[in-house]
Structure 1
């Protein structure tokens, strides 16, 4: 989907079309929307001048997404809003409305499933489709079907999307970015050399900042330069598994199937603080936040019917460097007290001298959990833990 969150907001505020708009900073509430309607009569009657500007933002939030006019100023997803305000102070700032975004997400995916039922859900705004067996799906190399999907989605939602057509998921993902917004791009195996090889290595989904920097340090900037390296050379510099993947990816090879059903591998909760907190000066506040994160992860697991064995934490310091630690326990759990206790042990393994800007808790190695029997299929039952004499795990001191 094209700038999905922002595009949904433009349906609500059509007067902002063509303007730089960023989404983030706060959550939308029905009460605030009701106040706006009471003041202006309708949402589309609000004057552009009445909307808050990014220049006035003060805080530590990050941008969730931005319209294409805002992106022309260098503003993008996951960018700190204070930095974005320096790049595009005139941008209009709108709150996040995840309830509305999920509704539109379900609608556009239902449209796709009616036309091409083999669909892999990749999040709120992206899917993969295997249209090999869709009747007439191969006309013009898939372009006719892609255009039909775009049209049906627009008719149902008023939103646009961009489609990449290719023999595999790797190339399709890259192709979907070529002609945004509302583009259709087709990449066949014979097109890899002239369409893919001139691109930066970072355009391959799976080459992150660290790998990109290492490649650049080795004199490899484009995908074509990566493809020119031998398999043994790549395995020598990047390890057997990742080196082999780099070699295949640079040649446009990917044998992953479209997966119509998938299981989560982990569940997590994290929060970025309004101001940096220190383990020494803000121990009580950090302890309360940490406990709440553990409780929310436990609630997520219980609500969705999972339990996990690997419990971990994530910290981001004031200098933006991040650390993670995890511990794998003997028994699967979805209990908040257990998660809190083990996550607290993880905290003891990280330096806490610096101020902290982000704190997160994660539970992985998930299995389906039967709440009535407190057991998971093929898992070791969770046994009652002997008392340590220290009271409720949720009240144990933190950062000590």
Structure 2
């Protein structure tokens, strides 16, 4: 029989206000206990302490107390901890804990905790999806768990419906991955000579959008902000940024934002030598709210994107491009 997993979700209060360096120091507290730490910047982290329990001679709750004690003693930081058999449940336990406290969720208690909770308490379910589910009478996690997965997929889309159905039943197989997420993702497209044609400028913008979106999805991250830099023939540059309505790695959404930035620059007569796109405010895709688009065209575009991603993973990122980039 496989050993029961033990995962801690740790929230460091004020880490987002103290800067990236303090957040990295607080992550060091967790690395002193287990190497299996997944950063969830700017304030959280998940730790798999399954193996650490025997080494320290403490159960998961005892290790959670150790994290809180060391964070306070070394850095004066307040840490709230949730302990559970998987990452989604640990996040819910952490959300239910008082500031600086710890809540442990035993496997036998999972159903009792989940079923009466409102849908909005389920990690990854955003307000648009909550409103639509509530409109259909699905207001509690228990109601979601009792709904056939196919029904949820028709409401929320294939991937989102499956995710919500699994998490409503306390199932979350995601491992704690130790790799640190990238802080930004950036791509650049240069022209061989001064380019005055706005249509070619926009094609270059779409090219870098596709590259950035592909990298985000490959790294399982979503971006909340785009920054477009245009480099001119004389070496000067102009940079403008836009915050997105919600974090995403969906290329059409990123493209609309990038085109909006481009249009704001008024480059109809500019001699352009290159465009550079940077995606920032990255968070793990798992932490982005699940929003049902309720738009068949949008769902179809996302399904095609999944197929294209599988092709790129097998044959390389250049194998598929939008027709308009031909």
The verdict on a shared fold, with TM-score over 0.5 as the criterion, is yes
Matches within 5 A, 1:51-66: none
Corresponding residue for residue 203 of structure 1: 121
Q: Deviations over 1:192-215 (max 9, x none)?
A: 221122111111121001111111
Residue 263 of structure 1: how far off its partner (Å): 4.4
Q: Deviations over 1:373-400 (max 9, x none)?
A: xxxxx777xxxxxxxxxxxxxxxxxxxx
Cα gap change, 1:206/1:248 in structure 2, threshold over 3 Å: closer, same or farther? same
Q: Does residue 117 of structure 1 match 2:35?
A: yes
Supply the distance in 2 between the matched residues of 1:250 and 1:121 (Cα, whole angstroms).
Answer: 24
Residue 165 of structure 1: how far off its partner (Å): 0.8
Cα gap change, 1:157/1:181 in structure 2, threshold over 3 Å: closer, same or farther? same
Supply the distance in 1 between the matched residues of 2:244 and 2:65 (Cα, whole angstroms).
Answer: 44
Q: Which runs of 5+ in 1 are unaligned?
A: 9-63, 65-97, 269-291, 299-311, 317-323, 329-338, 349-360, 365-377, 381-400
Cα gap change, 1:244/1:265 in structure 2, threshold over 3 Å: closer, same or farther? farther
Q: Deviations over 1:204-257 (max 9, x none)?
A: 121001111111111111111111112222223222221111110100111111
Supply the distance in 2 between the matched residues of 1:181 and 1:196 (Cα, whole angstroms).
Answer: 21
Supply the distance in 1 between the matched residues of 2:28 and 2:181 (Cα, whole angstroms).
Answer: 20
- Partner SS for 1:234: helix
Corresponding residue for residue 74 of structure 2: 156
Q: Does residue 193 of structure 1 match 2:111?
A: yes
Q: How big is the alpha-carbon RMSD for the aligned residues of Structure 1 and Structure 2?
A: 3.8
- Partner SS for 2:32: helix
Supply the distance in 2 between the matched residues of 1:315 and 1:106 (Cα, whole angstroms).
Answer: 26
Contact 1:327-1:346 at 8 Å conserved across structures:
no
- Partner SS for 1:294: strand
Corresponding residue for residue 256 of structure 1: 174
Name the structure where helix makes up a greater proportion of residues: 2
Q: Deviations over 1:317-376 (max 9, x none)?
A: xxxxxxx84449xxxxxxxxxx9889516999xxxxxxxxxxxx7549xxxxxxxxxxxx
Tell me which moved more, 230-239 or 248-257: 230-239
**Aligned mate of 1:4, from 13, 27, 34:** 13
Q: Which runs of 5+ in 2 are unaligned?
A: 1-9, 187-225, 232-240, 246-251, 267-276, 281-315, 319-326
Cα gap change, 1:325/1:238 in structure 2, threshold over 3 Å: closer, same or farther? closer
Matches within 5 A, 1:43-122: 98=17, 100-122=18-40
Matches within 5 A, 1:229-268: 229-264=147-182, 267=185
Residue 115 of structure 1: how far off its partner (Å): 1.5
Matches within 5 A, 1:137-156: 141-156=59-74
**Aligned mate of 1:126, from 44, 51, 61:** 44
Contact 1:137-1:145 at 8 Å conserved across structures:
no
Cα gap change, 1:140/1:260 in structure 2, threshold over 3 Å: closer, same or farther? closer
Contact 1:139-1:145 at 8 Å conserved across structures:
no
**Aligned mate of 1:294, from 218, 228, 231:** 228
Residue 124 of structure 1: how far off its partner (Å): 2.5
Supply the distance in 2 between the matched residues of 1:241 and 1:166 (Cα, whole angstroms).
Answer: 24
Q: Does residue 136 of structure 1 match 2:54?
A: yes
Supply the distance in 2 between the matched residues of 1:160 and 1:245 (Cα, whole angstroms).
Answer: 31
Structure-2-length-normalised TM-score? 0.55
